């Protein structure tokens, strides 16, 4: 055993020391490598932390964008809901407008039919008016003839009265017969030249009845004249003759006309306007009435009354100021209603057409 102990120290030889140094160097190298690795890991950790912070920043920005996108989506959803609601309302309005258009088209067809009927009626009335004018002209001619004959009879009556007064002063004895003669005097308005012949020359009386043969056409009683006693029987006809005069009272109607019509407008607003036009023989407006049957926005009865007053005293046809040119006479121009140019033009055209009938 002593030999073993003595051999153990001997083992700590330079070789063993060299081995220890190598081991220690290796350990140091390992430690250095570990430190380097730790430093590298620390740097790597710092890089990862930086990248993580950057990723967190991007994530925060993405989250903000996501919140904004969600808000925009909600706004777009609300706008879409509103648009859908507006679309439904527009569809309802479109359906109502379609129904209104169909109704207006039906009314237009009815109005066209009524217009054709009115045209036919106007033609009939125009023909009747022409006939009435012809009859009136004939009546006027007859009245003028009767008036001329009446004037002539009045002159003859004056001559007969003068002759009768002269005979009364010359032959007082014949006065009884003269007193009876006034009973015949009304008939003398028709045959005044017969009376002097009755008192002075009875034998010549038939010849006296032949003198006024040109006048009996107005009185239609030439056969009653030969007998002086039958003249009173002709008296009623003499009083009935003025019956032709009432036709003369209708003569002013030929000089003036009263025309009526109705204007119906669909656009821009539906309204009905009654027109009453008074014209004289020269188509000069003596009176114009425009009556609005229903209320229309922008168009009032006061505006129509002021518009109608312009036509009084003007000769149709007239021209709206907006349609006038340099060749239009000043007395033929009328001012349109404010903001009612189309309605003013329609009324002027209707009045001009009425005047042409």
Q: How much is the pLDDT for 141?
A: 82
Confidence band, pLDDT 50/70/90 cuts, at residue 166: low
Q: What is the mean pLDDT of residues 152-160?
A: 83
Give the pLDDT confidence of 103-139 residue by residue, as tens digits. 899 999 999 888 888 988 898 898 888 888 888 888 8
Name the percent of the chain lying above pLDDT 70.
Answer: 70
Confidence band, pLDDT 50/70/90 cuts, at residue 146: confident
CB atoms within 10 A of CB 318: 21
Does residue 223 have a pLDDT over 70?
no
Name the most confidently modeled range: 3-12, 17-26, 273-282: 273-282
Q: How much is the pLDDT for 167?
A: 57
Does residue 335 have a pLDDT over 80?
yes
Burial 156-170 (b: 16+ CB within 10 A, else e): bbeebeebbeebeee
Pull the structure tokens for residue 70. Answer: 């969600």
Q: What is the mean pLDDT of residues 182-188?
A: 41
Under 8 Å between Cβ of 304 and 284 = no
Confidence band, pLDDT 50/70/90 cuts, at residue 176: very low
Q: Which long-range contacts (CB under 8 A, 24 or more apart) does 135-138 make?
A: 136/247, 136/250, 136/251, 136/253, 136/254
Q: Where are the beta strands (DSSP E) in the chain?
A: 257-265, 271-279, 285-292, 319-320, 333-334
Residue 45 vs residue 191, higher pLDDT? 45
Does residue 219 have a pLDDT over 50?
no
Q: How much is the pLDDT for 104?
A: 93
Pull the structure tokens for residue 25. Answer: 């160097």
> Rounded to whole angstroms, what are the CA distances from 105 to 90, 98, 112, 226, 294?
22, 10, 10, 79, 21
Confidence band, pLDDT 50/70/90 cuts, at residue 311: very high
Q: How much is the pLDDT for 168?
A: 52
Q: How much is the pLDDT for 20?
A: 85
Residues sharing a CB contact under 8 Å with residue 129, sequence separation 6 or more, in sequence order: none
Alpha-carbon gap, residue 224 to 233, rounded angstroms: 8
Q: How much is the pLDDT for 36?
A: 94
Does residue 43 have a pLDDT over 60?
yes
Q: What is the mean pLDDT of residues 63-77?
A: 92
Name the percent of the chain lying above pLDDT 90.
Answer: 31
């Amino acid at each position: 055993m002593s030999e073993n102990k003595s051999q153990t120290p001997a083992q700590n030889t330079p070789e063993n020391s060299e081995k220890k140094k190598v081991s220690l160097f290796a350990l140091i190298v390992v430690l250095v490598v570990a430190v380097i690795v730790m430093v590298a890991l620390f740097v790597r950790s710092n890089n990862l932390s930086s990248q993580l912070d950057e990723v967190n920043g991007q994530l925060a920005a993405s989250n903000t964008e996501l919140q904004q996108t969600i808000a925009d989506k909600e706004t777009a959803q609300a706008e879409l809901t509103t648009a859908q609601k507006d679309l439904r309302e527009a569809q309802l309005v479109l359906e109502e407008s379609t129904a209104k258009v169909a109704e207006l088209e039906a009314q237009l067809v009815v109005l066209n039919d009524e217009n054709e009927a009115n045209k036919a009626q106007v033609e009939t009335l125009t023909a009747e008016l022409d006939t009435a004018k012809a009859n009136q002209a004939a009546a006027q001619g007859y009245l003028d003839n009767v008036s001329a004959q009446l004037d002539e009879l009045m002159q003859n009556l004056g001559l007969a009265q003068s002759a009768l007064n002269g005979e009364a002063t010359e032959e007082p004895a014949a006065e009884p017969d003269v007193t009876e003669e006034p009973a015949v005097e009304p008939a003398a308005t028709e045959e005044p030249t017969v009376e002097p012949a009755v008192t002075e020359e009875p034998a010549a009386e038939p010849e006296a009845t032949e003198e006024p043969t040109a006048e009996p056409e107005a009185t239609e009683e030439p056969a009653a004249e030969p007998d002086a006693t039958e003249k009173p029987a002709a008296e009623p006809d003499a009083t009935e003759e003025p019956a032709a005069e009432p036709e003369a009272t209708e003569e002013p109607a030929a000089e003036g006309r009263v025309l009526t019509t109705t204007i119906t407008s669909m656009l821009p607003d539906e309204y009905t306007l009654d027109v009453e036009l008074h014209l004289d023989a020269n188509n000069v407006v003596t009176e114009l009435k425009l009556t609005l049957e229903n209320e229309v926005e922008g168009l009032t009865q006061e505006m129509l009354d002021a518009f109608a007053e312009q036509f009084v005293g003007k000769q149709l046809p007239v021209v709206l100021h907006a349609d006038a040119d340099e060749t239009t006479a000043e007395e033929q121009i009328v001012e349109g209603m404010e903001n009612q140019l189309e309605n003013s033009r329609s009324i002027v055209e209707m009045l001009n057409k009425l005047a042409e009938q």
